[in-house]
């Protein structure tokens, strides 16, 4: 269900979706009020909800839509302004599954192409949970057979079998975290539980997120952790007691300057279709901390972090992945788990306590 007051945007997105063999436009509506009034009749799996609309805007319509259809997956759409970034974060706290920044204009093909790629990927991955639920409950019913749209992942019960490594022999001296879809909520929950780690060690985070949004996320992380958190600045010294977040639109790596670990921002091409990407952070940290790296891969689409995680493990470090049940999308952590590089695959609420124990010297 597409909900946007722009007829141009509705038409463009409708054409993109109808061109996909596994997606159908259930409805194309102009206002949030139209969506609220029709959602029970239309019964969409996913709603793409614009923030700025007449009569009833997206943030006001969101709780009403979820009240009428509790399993509705809502993706918020907005332009890249600070106000809309703040509203998008509020929407996540109210139950939206994800957000997507709209290009300033659809006349620029590059901006439209990125928007199209990201939107279809989010719909496909988030819709994968709906498809699995439907197939589980209607297994005996006749169904149209279609090609799978997302990589098959092991069941929750079998995830323990994916843990094939013990934690590295070297005590960790830095915590690296990578995340994407569902990441902001997961990150804020995690940093609130690892105060003892942050107090004595640096924490570096890459979250797939555009500019402006990362600025807001850093502020939210600071409030959740009650410790300093900010976007990384090129050349700044990395110190314990601080959280460094990769700024939107730039890769964050780690380097050395005068023997001191420093932030190195990179304006190179996207990695794994992402900028910032997790792999460059993970891999670059090995040159500074060798095997004393602890890497955590949280909820997110795709496989970013898996290759960097392999490098971390090869250097003697360790990787923890979030489990499927607590992930919004088990793409990134699932890729790491399936690669056999994880020392643990844990629910989100167990990762924080585990990190506190590991950084305090408990290697069990």
pLDDT tens figures, 6-31: 999 999 999 999 999 999 999 999 99
Q: Record the pTM.
A: 0.89
117 counts as catalytic: no
Q: Name the catalytic one among 208, 251, 266, 311.
A: 208
Mean pLDDT of 171-200: 97
pLDDT at residue 186 is higher than 70: yes
Q: Name the catalytic one among 28, 180, 284, 326.
A: 180
180 counts as catalytic: yes
CA distance 272 to 257: 28
The pLDDT of residue 5: 94
CATH of 2-135, one of 3.30.360.10, 3.30.70.20, 3.40.50.2300, 3.20.20.70: 3.40.50.2300
Residues in the chain, total: 364
The pLDDT of residue 277: 97
CATH 3.40.470.10 fits 161-359, yes or no: no
71 counts as catalytic: no
Summary mean pLDDT of the chain: 90
Mean pLDDT of 60-68: 97
The pLDDT of residue 201: 98
Share above pLDDT 70 across residues of the chain, in percent, rounded to a whole number: 89
Q: Quick check: do 2-135 and 161-359 share a fold?
A: yes
pLDDT at residue 191 is higher than 90: yes
Provide the pairing of β-strand 251-257 with 260-266.
antiparallel
pLDDT at residue 103 is higher than 90: no
Mean pLDDT of 191-205: 98
**Boundaries of every domain in the chain:** 2-135, 161-359
Mean pLDDT of 232-239: 98
Q: Name the catalytic one among 45, 304, 311, 323.
A: 304
pLDDT tens figures, 291-350: 999 999 999 999 999 999 999 999 999 999 999 999 999 999 999 999 999 999 999 999
């Amino acid at each position: 269900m597409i909900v946007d007051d722009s007829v141009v945007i509705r038409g463009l997105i409708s054409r993109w979706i109808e061109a996909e063999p596994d997606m159908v436009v259930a409805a194309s509506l102009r206002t949030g009020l139209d969506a609220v009034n029709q959602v029970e009749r239309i019964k969409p799996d996913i709603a793409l909800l614009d923030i700025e609309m007449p009569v009833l805007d997206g943030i006001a319509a969101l709780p009403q839509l979820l009240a009428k259809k509790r399993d509705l997956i809502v993706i918020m759409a907005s332009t890249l302004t600070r106000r809309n970034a703040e509203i998008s974060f509020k929407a996540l706290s109210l139950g939206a599954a994800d957000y997507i920044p709209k290009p300033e204009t659809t006349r620029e093909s590059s901006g439209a192409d990125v928007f199209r790629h990201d939107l279809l990927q989010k719909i496909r991955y988030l819709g994968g949970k709906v498809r699995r639920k439907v197939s589980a409950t209607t297994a005996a019913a006749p169904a149209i057979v279609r090609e799978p749209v997302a990589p098959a992942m092991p069941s929750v019960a079998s995830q323990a079998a994916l843990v094939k490594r013990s934690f590295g022999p070297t005590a960790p001296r830095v915590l690296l975290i990578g995340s994407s879809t569902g990441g902001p909520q997961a990150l804020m929950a995690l940093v609130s539980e690892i105060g003892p780690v942050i107090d004595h060690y640096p924490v570096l985070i890459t979250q797939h997120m555009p500019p402006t949004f990362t600025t807001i996320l850093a502020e939210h992380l600071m409030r959740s952790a009650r410790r300093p958190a900010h976007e990384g600045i090129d050349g700044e010294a990395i110190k314990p007691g601080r959280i460094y977040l990769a700024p939107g639109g730039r890769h964050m790596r780690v380097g050395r300057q005068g023997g001191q670990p420093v932030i190195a921002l990179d304006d190179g091409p996207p990695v794994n279709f992402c900028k910032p990407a997790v792999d460059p952070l993970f891999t670059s940290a090995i040159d500074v901390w060798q095997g004393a790296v602890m890497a955590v891969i949280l909820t997110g689409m795709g496989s970013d972090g898996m290759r960097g995680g392999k490098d971390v493990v090869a250097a003697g470090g360790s990787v923890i992945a979030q489990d499927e049940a607590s992930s919004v999308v088990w793409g990134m952590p699932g890729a790491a788990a399936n690669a056999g590089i994880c020392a643990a695959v844990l629910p989100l609420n167990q990762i924080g306590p585990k990190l506190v124990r590991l950084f305090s010297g408990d290697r069990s």
